[in-house]
Amino acid sequence: MNDTAQQDRVLIFDTTLRDGEQSPGATMTHDEKLEIAGMLDEMGVDIIEAGFPIASEGDFRAVSEIAKNAKNSRICGLARANFADIDRCWEAVKHAEKNRIHTFIGTSELHRAIPNLTMDEMADKIHETVSHARNLCENVQWSPMDATRTEWDYLCRVIEIAIKAGATTINIPDTVGYTAPVESADLIKRLIETVPGADEVIFATHCHNDLGMATANSLAAVEGGARQIECTINGLGERAGNTALEEVVMALKVRNDIMPWHTGIDTRKLMQISRRVATVSGFPVQFNKAIVGKNAFAHESGIHQDGMLKNKETFEIMRPEDVGLSGTSLPLGKHSGRAALRDKLEHLGFEVGDNQLKDVFVRFKDLADRKKEVLDDDLIALMRVGGDDENDALKLVSMKVVCGTGGQAEATVEMEIDGKDISATAFGDGPVDATFKAIRDLHPNQARLQLYQVHAVTEGMDAQATVSVRVEEDGMVVTGQSADTDTVVSSAKAYINALNRLVVRRAKMGEGVDAKEISYRDVT
């Protein structure tokens, strides 16, 4: 193993709050953005791209507040190649002790055709906008969007212009996930060797995962000379996503023998932030996802289990503790107390205060009465979906569903709405359809169901079902989640959770916040 003190540092640039949040349906609330930013800051992320300040008033406020609260990370905002975007970005990030303006423009032939600019016109625009950004901020990042499909000579030309105009970081985006590892390494290496002034700036890599090679391409770019990796938690992002932070960081840690570079990330916090991002985005992590997936450290095969019992290194190349997982199991049931629950949650990476523990313990006991053993994944689901907020306008009181092969399903739902208990009965094609119709009768709305997903948290007849519901109304898109051993009850709670979010957003509109702004970047 190489001594990290003698190795080059690779900066980690996290864009979960900007590129990650652009995933359809992944919009986060203001408070959720601040929470995630705080976790990234504490984990050791070098640069946090906190958002796109000119996109909406909500995004501007979130970036500004993140900048004010940052303790360690450099806070960055994104801006298109125009003065208005750059000025707005600076107004948001200037509050940070360490800040950055990130401005970009599409340089490939396909992207030049969008603003209908000639090569010379675009070159002039790059010089003007990068110069303007540098006059405002000492730390400026510039990106030629779709760089991997930009003509070589023109790419070299515009990068040289950006460096001369004052850019301190040159990011090379593989915007559509088109390149391959050999190309990625070679491109960075040739640019550093060819472009005048390249040795005076940091080269970064931003890879998308359309062909499933984002992590490999990012690591190859580092081998070619890049010293900043742009990535997101869980690989969240447009289309097939971005480079996953947890993958590149652990790859550099585990295979430091052949990749002699280091990061400043506290890897023990990876699992906790992965779960939190999955919760607030509504995008569950696939079970076999590297590093943070449910099965990443699970062994079911008899041969694997035998090997693990004799020597864990036979089938594990890293320790679960290194990413924030507990290496031991503490079975929990209805006789367990608060101390045991707190200990288990801490081993799972959750830090809970006394008030939160009190709420979780009530829901844990309710679940334990219905299950013989509460497993780790059950607890994760409890933490992920949370309980009812006492300030919620809509609350489920009780429900009864009748269904079968004899006709339509019937659902009777009782809810507390603004402090009053009311009930309604509705019929539908199935129990969930009937339940949703009864809820709509109690709380009329025009929300259109975009997504309905059910995931079994654990195995067995008594497994919890985690339900995710995404609805859209008047351009506002919200996601609701819940978990219960009864799938229909979980569905009802998730739907009501989404409707409560719509209620909050409508209230914000009543305070004068534009509906389009709320739908593009959530404001609480």
443 is in an annotated binding site: no
> What is the 3-state composition of the chain as percent helix, strand, coil, each rounded to the nearest 5?
45, 20, 35
299 annotated among ligand-binding-site residues: no
Exposed, middle or buried, 61 (CB in 10 Å: 0-12/13-18/19+)? middle
Question: Which are the contacts of 397, defined by CB distance < 8 A and separation ≥ 6?
Answer: 414, 415, 416, 421
19 is an annotated ligand-binding site residue: yes
Do 270 and 323 contact (CB within 8 A), yes or no? yes
DSSP 177: S
Q: What are phi and psi of 292, to 5 degrees?
A: -115, 0
User: How far is CA 186 from its chain centroid?
Assistant: 30
Bridge-based pairing state of the strands 202-207 and 169-174:
parallel
What would the two tokens of residue 373 be? Answer: 């053993």
Q: Give the helix/strand (H/E) hosting 512.
A: none
Q: Is 234 marked within a binding site?
A: no
Q: Which helix (H) or strand (E) holds 449?
A: strand 448-456
Question: What does DSSP say about strands 228-231 and 202-207: parallel, antiparallel, or unpaired?
Answer: parallel
Q: State whether residue 137 is helix, strand or coil.
A: coil
* Phi-psi map region of 248: left, alpha, beta (phi>0 left; psi -120 to 50 alpha): alpha
By the 10 Å C-beta count (0-12 exposed, 13-18 middle, 19+ buried), 282 is classed as buried
Task: Give the contacts of 394 (CB within 8 A, at least 6 positions apart).
Answer: 415, 416, 417, 443, 496, 499, 500, 503
User: How many angstroms separate the CA atoms of 143 and 176, rounded?
Assistant: 14
Report the b/e string of 424-452 with b at 16+ CB within 10 A: bebebeebbbbbbbbbbebbeeebeeeee
β-strands 8-9, 261-262 pairing? parallel
Handedness of CA 261, 262, 268, 274 (dihedral sign): negative
Residue 246: count of CB within 10 angstroms of its CB: 28
Q: Annotated binding site for Mn(2+), which residues? A: 19, 206, 208, 242
**Numbered residues of the known binding site:** 19, 206, 208, 242
